[in-house]
Amino acid sequence: MSKGLRIVYLGPEGTFCEQAARRYFYGTDPALIACPTIRDVFDAVEETKATYGAVPVENSLEGSERRTLDLLLEKELLISGEVDLRVVHNLIVRPRTVLENVQVILSHPQALAQCRKFLEKYFPKAELGEVSSTARAVQQLSEVENAAAIGTETAAQRYGMEVVHRQIEDDPNNFTRFFILGKEDRMPTGRDKTSLIFSAKHEPGSLFQVLEAFAIRGINLTKIESRPQRGRPWEYVFYLDFEGHRTEQGVKEALEAMRRRCIFVKILGSYPKYSENSS
């Protein structure tokens, strides 16, 4: 990927999303721009104000990011890459804070939940304050007395705060997956994934028949998830990830069979499976 890219991500500065964007575009020296909401990220790429956007799509402990899934259905952007990022939570304070005086701990609700054991052991009487992101929690330490935050080391450095305990998450196997959004997906690499959305016909066995189209061709499904279809109560769409590129013959055949059995199919993109060396 060339230099001079404009990359938008879910902000503020210091979020895991920024870390994911930096990792994916490492070595390209992109201009990174924080957006206040996931919709703002989609809009910036859609309106060509940015080349790519980085958004969270699912966490290994908490599940999918519903705002991202809904916008993938609503918007016409494509997934051009993915990043898996290990989530490391740290206890962060304003410099010279006395830990015994900490009365409130700020963070995103998921981060607070993922550090429950640490908090119950060391801060059982502290009030837990929920904010919109871990980075925002660190940022707010300059405004709140006798407070600590759970956030990233990057955020601590960015806002002039101090990390006093590292890796305080209850489960070290905590990962978040991020999508890189653009106007085009990627050419085949031989180790690809494809994501799509579909709605099956309201007939007995229709979902089985859709999935069978992949099984009989030996295509491995890596995720399937249902979401309510807006404006149509008790009707659902399905999000599907599978191994392979949409241009491969077996995948093309499976998609053809799928379209015959579905109300609609929307391809979200084919892209390289993430590895430390895939960006």
Q: How far apart are CA 26 and CA 70, in angstroms?
A: 29
Q: Which residues 6+ apart lie within 8 Å of 226 measured at CB?
A: 236, 237, 238, 239
| Secondary element (H or E) of residue 162 | strand 162-165
The residues with which 151 forms a beta bridge, in sequence order, are 90
Q: How far apart are CA 67 and CA 84, in angstroms?
A: 18
Q: How far apart are CA 9 and CA 15, in angstroms?
A: 9
Q: Which residues 6+ apart lie within 8 Å of 129 measured at CB?
A: 104, 105, 106, 107, 137, 147
Q: Which phi and psi angles does 196 have, rounded to 5°?
A: -155, 170
* Structure-token pair, residue 228: 């309510």
Whether 176 is catalytic is: yes
| 11-36 core/surface letters (b: 16 or more CB in 10 A; e: else) | bbbbbbbbbbbbbbbeeeebebbbbe
CA dihedral 21, 184, 240, 85 (to 10 degrees): -10
Catalytic-labelled residue, pool 123, 178, 198, 214:
178
Catalytic-labelled residue, pool 176, 194, 198, 242:
176
Q: Which residues are catalytic?
A: 176, 178
